[in-house]
């Protein structure tokens, strides 16, 4: 929130309307005699109105604005920024997100499944500053694209870059889960969990999903499996990473929910079916509530001073008014 270290300086603003009142009433006007110079039977020198009058008014407004900026600078405007510095370790949450082409199906809130996943994950990350998040992109191959980190800007930037087909065409669920497990095993976080977001069944990779699920359970890592998408014919469109051409058509959306339930069961975790954004958001919020806990922290404050900026503005405006009056209006200042 902005504040002022010397708010009493604003009392000086009263001189602006006071000056114009005094000028209007001509209280301090001296005695003057009109004197017109002209050639014999020639044209007289007269005050040019029109555009000159408008420019004169503009120059007065600029001078008044310059004075206001100078007063604000004297009032020392300050914006105080506060940041939470966490002094205890939070939870580790690893998202394993399916990036197979079927995630380009448009059946979640009129958008694609992958876009819905990005939106919900982004919302969760932004609401939990002290939590470490990791990101595993999974299709026919899997890779940790963001290791567990509290640098949420870096996480969200890479999350936004996920695209259908970037890791191949299949769904190596076992490989994706195992990759996440091995990056969480060495973590000292008091709570660790994996959130698998997929719309398919395991059809690639050399590691069986149930093996990966038991590996997570044996290492104290909670597993939540989210089966994403509706059933039936769904429109689909994405850019093929290999050829660069746009692929569009329809997808017969159907996958084996029992296999996903079995994966969650082997990890001692939970399975959720997600068909709309409302369900998606509430499920992820419930997962966060189970995993995220209160952390100790202190507040770090830093002040940003804006007096130099207002002072510079006052000088620039004064110079502009001087140029306008002296060089264009030919006034003697």
pLDDT in tens, the chain (333 residues): 678 888 888 888 888 788 778 777 767 665 555 655 555 565 555 555 567 777 778 888 888 899 899 999 999 998 878 776 666 778 999 999 999 999 999 999 888 999 999 999 999 999 888 899 999 999 999 999 999 999 999 999 999 999 998 898 889 999 999 999 999 998 888 899 999 999 888 888 899 999 999 999 999 999 999 999 888 888 888 887 777 788 888 887 777 789 999 999 999 999 999 999 999 999 999 998 888 876 566 577 777 888 999 999 999 998 988 888 777 666 544
Terminal Cα distance for the chain, rounded: 41
| Distance separating alpha carbons of residues 211 and 208, to the nearest angstrom | 5
| Distance separating alpha carbons of residues 250 and 233, to the nearest angstrom | 6
Angstrom distances, CA of residue 294 to CA of 83, 90, 121, 130, 213: 16, 8, 20, 9, 28
| Distance separating alpha carbons of residues 331 and 9, to the nearest angstrom | 31
| Distance separating alpha carbons of residues 248 and 265, to the nearest angstrom | 36
CA torsion through residues 63, 64, 68, 71, sign = positive
Which pTM does this prediction carry? 0.68
């Amino acid at each position: 929130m902005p504040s002022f270290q010397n708010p009493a300086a604003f009392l000086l603003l009263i001189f602006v309307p006071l000056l114009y009142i005094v000028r209007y009433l001509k209280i301090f006007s001296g005695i003057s005699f009109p004197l017109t110079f002209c050639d014999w039977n020639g044209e007289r020198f007269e005050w040019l109105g029109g555009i000159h009058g408008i420019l004169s008014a503009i120059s007065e407004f600029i001078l008044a604005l310059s004075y206001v900026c100078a007063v604000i600078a004297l009032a020392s405007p300050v914006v105080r920024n506060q940041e939470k510095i966490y002094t205890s370790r939070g939870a580790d949450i690893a998202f394993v997100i399916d990036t197979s082409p079927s995630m380009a199906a448009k059946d979640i809130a009129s958008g694609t499944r992958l876009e819905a996943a990005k939106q919900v994950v982004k919302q969760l990350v932004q609401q939990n500053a002290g939590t470490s998040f990791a990101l595993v992109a999974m299709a026919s191959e899997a890779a940790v694209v963001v290791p567990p980190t509290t640098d949420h800007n870096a996480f969200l930037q890479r999350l936004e870059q996920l695209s259908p087909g970037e890791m191949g065409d299949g769904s190596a669920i076992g490989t994706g889960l195992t990759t996440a497990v091995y990056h969480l095993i060495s973590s000292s976080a008091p709570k660790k969990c994996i959130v698998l977001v997929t719309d398919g069944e395991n059809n690639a990779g050399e590691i069986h999903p149930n093996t990966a699920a038991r590996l997570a359970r044996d290492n104290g890592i909670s597993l939540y499996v989210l089966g994403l998408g509706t059933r039936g014919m769904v429109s689909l469109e994405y850019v093929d990473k290999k050829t660069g051409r746009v692929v569009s058509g329809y997808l017969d959306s159907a996958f084996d929910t029992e296999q996903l339930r079995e994966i969650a069961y082997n990890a001692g975790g939970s399975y959720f079916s997600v068909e709309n954004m409302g369900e998606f958001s509430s499920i992820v919020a419930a997962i966060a509530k189970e995993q995220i806990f209160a952390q100790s922290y202190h507040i770090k404050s830093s002040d940003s001073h804006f007096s130099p900026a207002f002072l510079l503005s006052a000088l620039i405006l004064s110079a502009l008014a001087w140029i306008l009056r002296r060089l264009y209006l030919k006034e003697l200042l």
